[in-house]
């Protein structure tokens, strides 16, 4: 079977536009999920570090459960199955939004926050214990010492693993095409099925994903080589 390459077809005009639209959605859903999972992950990590039993158990169960189930299943759960668990008000609000997009963001957020919580926890463990003891001794409450002393130092250490987690979000966001979010992967499939030029379309999409990963991980390498060396422990 002779196959003629037609790069122009997928790089410009309508089909190129589709891929660009897909990229925008991918970046949007990733950014939202990264932001939300950072907040949620920090919260879960702090739960784990308190001495309050129910909070510790909740946090442990949360991280173990969501880290050990496939993202795809979680996406399906939020998309197909969440309505009978969530309260009516939340459901109504969600259906008024772009529901596919919302379910995708929720699934990515919940999944990623479990990983981020573990990263933050290990970052906090890397801080010498005396730090929290000293800050508690100066009269700060547990939350205040977390907020002003521990977390700022921990975040500086865990920036490299966090960023690679963020890159995972960008890559994982390709799964939301299964529930019909028109992201980069979805649009690439669309171009493939309209033009039968799958090779070109998937090459373009792969290069885009790859470029995002390589640029960001290069920046992280520079950061960990230059900045992390300055940290005394």
In whole angstroms, give the CA distance from residue 159 to residue 171. 18
Is residue 112 a contact residue for another protein (CB under 8 A)? no
In whole angstroms, give the CA distance from residue 117 to residue 110. 11
Is residue 224 a contact residue for another protein (CB under 8 A)? no
Q: Is the dihedral of CA 73, 76, 82, 84 positive or negative?
A: negative
- Min dist CB 185 to another protein, Å, is 6
Is residue 1 a contact residue for another protein (CB under 8 A)? yes
Which residues are within 8 A (CB) of 192 and not within 5 positions of it... i.e. 6 or more apart?
A: 198, 201, 202
Cβ-based nearer residue to another protein, 142 or 199? 199
Is residue 64 a contact residue for another protein (CB under 8 A)? yes
Site size toward another protein, by CB under 8 A: 40
Beta strands in the chain (DSSP E): none
Is residue 172 a contact residue for another protein (CB under 8 A)? yes
Contacting residue, 74, 113, 145, 165, with another protein by CB under 8 A: 74
Is residue 95 a contact residue for another protein (CB under 8 A)? no
Footprint on residues 195-214 left by another protein (CB under 8 A): 198-199, 202, 205-206, 209-210, 212-214
Is residue 69 a contact residue for another protein (CB under 8 A)? yes
Is residue 174 a contact residue for another protein (CB under 8 A)? yes
Per-residue CA distances from 186 to 116, 167, 218 (Å): 27, 19, 27
Is residue 4 a contact residue for another protein (CB under 8 A)? no
| Phi, psi angle pair for 21, to nearest 5° | -60, -40
DSSP string of 82-107, one letter each residue: GGGTS-HHHHHHHHHS-HHHHHHHHH
Which parts of this chain interact with another protein (CB under 8 A)? 1, 3, 64-65, 68-74, 76-77, 80-85, 171-172, 174-175, 177-178, 185, 188-189, 192, 198-199, 202, 205-206, 209-210, 212-214, 217
């Amino acid at each position: 079977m002779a196959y003629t390459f037609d790069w122009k077809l997928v790089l410009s005009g309508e089909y190129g536009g589709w891929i660009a639209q897909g990229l925008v959605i991918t970046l949007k859903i990733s950014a939202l999920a990264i932001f939300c999972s950072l907040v949620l992950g920090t919260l879960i990590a702090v739960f784990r570090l308190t001495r309050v039993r129910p909070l510790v158990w909740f946090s442990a169960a949360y991280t173990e459960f969501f880290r050990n189930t496939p993202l795809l299943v979680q996406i399906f759960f939020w998309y197909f199955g969440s309505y009978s668990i969530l309260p009516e008000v939340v459901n109504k609000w969600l259906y008024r939004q772009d529901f596919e997009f919302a379910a995708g963001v929720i699934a990515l957020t919940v999944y990623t926050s479990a990983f981020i919580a573990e990263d933050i926890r290990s970052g906090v463990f890397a801080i010498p214990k005396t730090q929290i003891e000293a800050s508690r001794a100066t009269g700060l409450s547990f939350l205040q010492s977390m907020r002003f002393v521990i977390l700022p130092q921990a975040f500086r250490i865990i920036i490299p693993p966090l960023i690679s987690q963020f890159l995972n979000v960008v890559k994982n966001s390709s799964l939301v095409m299964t529930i019909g979010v028109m992201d980069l992967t979805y649009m690439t499939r669309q171009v493939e099925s309209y033009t039968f030029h799958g090779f070109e379309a998937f090459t373009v999409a792969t290069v885009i994903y790859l470029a995002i990963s390589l640029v960001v991980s290069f920046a992280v390498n520079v950061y960990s080589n230059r900045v992390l060396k300055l940290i005394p422990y």
